[in-house]
Amino acid sequence: MRKSIVVDNRKYMWNGVEYANEGEANAAAEKYAAARFELHRIAENEKVYLFTRRVVTEIKVEGTPP
């Protein structure tokens, strides 16, 4: 499986898991959705693959500036 895909000029990264069925993929997709990830799924060779992306909404800088 490829490591990333581009859909509508947005890059999604494969989460590294081959799901045997839609039920397993749906359970994982719900967790990603709760964590505010965007999802794209591909069904291929009787397996389901999830690709995720998350837009950075906040940047935290630790320590004092140089």
pLDDT per residue of the chain (66 residues) written in tens, 0 to 9: 789 999 999 999 999 999 999 999 999 999 999 999 999 999 999 999 999 999 888 888 888 877
Give pTM, 2 decimals: 0.81
- HEC sequence for 10-55: EEEEEEEEEECCHHHHHHHHHHHHHCCCEEEEEEECCEEEEEEECC
Give me the residues paired with residue 7 across strands.
10
First-last CA distance in the chain: 43
